[in-house]
Amino acid sequence: MSTFLLEIVTPDHVAYSGEVDSLVVRGVEGELGILPNHIPLVTPLRVAPIAVTSGKKTTEIAVNGGFVEVRKDKVVVLAESAELPEEIDVERARAAKERAERRLAAGKQDEIDFRRAEMALQKAINRINVAGRK
């Protein structure tokens, strides 16, 4: 079976680099499965796990927004942040989730604060879910 090179890059580091069999990402238009020789495309990503399959092993990676660029033999994910399950501090993610929920419940916020709290909540839930499935 053929493979392709996957690189997940954040502003800080390369979170993942290796040959993979398939990849599933959640774009703004919905879920997208990528196999070798996929047509080229670029699409923005939602805050959601990315499922990477190599051999019989599937790994989920918590990706918090960004873009995916699919080329003939290479896929690059440019992410705001990306964490493998073993890198996630679950207690810190739970604390962030609770803070975001309190801010959302407090009401009396302007639109920007509300949106920031919503994004913080989505990111915390994403991290908790990925860490829980390892």
pLDDT for 4: 96
| CATH number of the domain to which 64 belongs | 2.60.15.10
**93 and 34 together in one domain:** no
Domain count, the chain: 2
Query: What is the pTM (predicted TM-score) of this model?
Result: 0.84
Record the tokens describing residue 106, joined without a space: 């407090």
**72 and 103 together in one domain:** no
**8 and 52 together in one domain:** yes
pLDDT in tens, the chain (134 residues): 689 999 999 999 999 999 999 999 999 999 999 999 999 999 999 999 999 999 999 999 999 989 999 998 899 999 999 999 999 889 999 999 998 888 888 766 666 677 888 888 889 988 898 988 65
